[in-house]
Amino acid sequence: MSVEIRDIPAQAAAPGVAVPAENALPADRPWWRAMPRAALVPLTVLLPLVTLAPTADHRFNLYWHGGDFRAHPLRQLAEPFRTVPIYLDFGNFRPLGRLVERAVDVAAYLLMEILHLPANIALRVVSLLAAVVLTAAAMLLSESITARGRLFREPPSPLTVLVPYGVGAALVAAGATSTTVLFGGLYFLSAALVLGVAAACCRAVSADGHALRAVPAVAAVLSGAALAAFNEIAYLALPLAAVAVVARGRLVLGLDRRSLLRDRATRLVGLLWLGFLPVFVPVRWLIARACDTGDCYRGSDVALGPDLGLAWVHRMAAWLPPVQWQEAARGADGSWAIGLLPALALVTLALLARGTWADLRGWRVDRRAALAVAVSAGAVLVLGAVMAAANGDTQAAAVAGRWGLGWRDSGLAAAAGVPALLGLVLALAKWRHTPVALLALLVLAGAGSAAANGTYAADSAGRQSSVVNNAIAHEVAVFDRTPAGNTRRCALRAEFRVLYPDLPYSRFARAEVPGTATPTERLEVTIDMATRQLYGRPFCAPDQP
């Protein structure tokens, strides 16, 4: 048994689809220009953060995961699955997500090892690449919903070419818990997975066309089970796929209810759910039992309190760039980093937008397709906000009035919120220059986000904790074997101990790195793993002359 993945030929396009002007460029050339923007726009906006100091678990995990993988690669591959019972006891089930998290850290570690990049820069490079993947996935989802023919055979829709500018503008360092700052590689890739699954389901249509490949039913069921074993963000892939398939079928393809129920895309979504639920339901039941005592990992604990509604409103607005700017500038004494980098960002985005304007010229918007994107992306934005609002930390932030504060849903919220808003505006607007006006606004928003990121980076760089963590990263990357180098490293370790003397250290953290009871001990163990693997020496040898 299999599910055929088909695409409707271009000739089947219904009236109202975007039609090129007589002097339009060949179909392949707009895509050659559009796809690089998925890379260049987020890189431009995020560039001011490239030297941002590692914080939270990033201070330890790169050295831990990278050093342990290089020394024991097979053990690292098996570790996320071996520790499933331990993490379930803490209210957490993400074996595949942890495997990806370790892969992200290993990639940064290899950059440090091969290029001698400090860990902070290596982490940001990997995060930047993950942001590019997320932006490309957002474009792919938009085009998968709107295109009636085969993907990439026709020029992208106006909505699709605007998506990179919107997603890039929403990538703001909105506080220490934003995915733009913390765990960017993992959660950008998690959000890209959600969008990619929905895009793949949207292309599984039953209309006449050439069968590209067959998806065995067993593979579809196993894929659903894998999503349940990834992380909480990946849970949203199936609701998004279900809504996107229905919206595309009814609004874009014009299928009636009976035809939609028989559609292979609907069948594929059903098979994914069939694999997802038998894993998701018992796991959430086990987590609910384990968390009855209230001693679970706060990042994945569910708090259904009276502040849930307020937190949901905050999460629904948190992805908007202007709302995030105020959080990025918090603590900067009102002074924004209006300098060379934001100016370069504005010039770069304006140059990219010039080519986009040429692509938009002569194309009209398919309103029903734009509405289908708005409905699909809006659904996952709403559900993602509900998931984030159920966390105790986001509820506390909402009560404190922290509008725009980022959390682990920030990447997905940006990639869903932007197409939802653009799709709604394009579906309702009657002014023919609306796409060009939106492009201008998004360019200005992107430059503003680059300035906000520069502000956050400048404020963060002035903190002593950032100075120490960046100095440790530099010493690991460029290891000085002389007594003077050892003295510097020992001094940095002592300074870290002063900065983080008696911080809470949960049983969750103790179980992750056995034998540690404080952040200082965790640092000492993990950086020693890295330097012993790289150089055959401990980070600090107190008895060295």
Segment 343-395, tens digit of pLDDT = 888 999 999 998 888 777 766 778 899 999 999 999 999 999 999 998 888 99
pLDDT of residue 72: 83
At residue 217, does pLDDT exceed 90? no
Give the residue, 15 or 192, on which the prediction is more confident. Answer: 192
**Average pLDDT estimate for 87-103:** 88
Instruction: Pick the closest to residue 7 from 202, 220, 232 (CA basis).
Output: 202
Structure tokens at 316: 């629904």
286-319 pLDDT, tens per residue? 888 877 766 677 666 677 778 899 999 999 999 9
**Average pLDDT estimate for 247-274:** 85
Where residue 484 falls among pLDDT bands split at 50, 70, 90? very high
What are the CA-CA distances from residue 34 to residues 39, 171, 267, 352 (Å)? 10, 19, 32, 10
Distance CA 422, CA 404 (A): 20
pLDDT of residue 338: 58
Instruction: Pick the closest to residue 59 from 541, 543, 544, 503 (CA basis).
Output: 503
Structure tokens at 62: 């790169």
Distance CA 373, CA 277 (A): 26
User: What percent of the chain is predicted at pLDDT more than 70?
Assistant: 88
Beta strands 2-6 and 211-216, pairing class = antiparallel
At residue 179, does pLDDT exceed 50? yes
pLDDT of residue 299: 66
User: What percent of the chain is predicted at pLDDT more than 90?
Assistant: 53
The separation between CA 198 and the C-alpha centre of its own chain, rounded to angstroms, equals 16
Contacts of 31 (CB under 8 A, 6+ apart): 152, 155, 156
The separation between CA 544 and the C-alpha centre of its own chain, rounded to angstroms, equals 44
At residue 5, does pLDDT exceed 70? no
Q: State the DSSP H helix or E strand holding residue 441, giving kind and residue range, or none if neither.
A: helix 434-461
To the nearest 10 degrees (0 to 180), the angle between helices 158-169 and 119-146 is 150
pLDDT of residue 87: 84
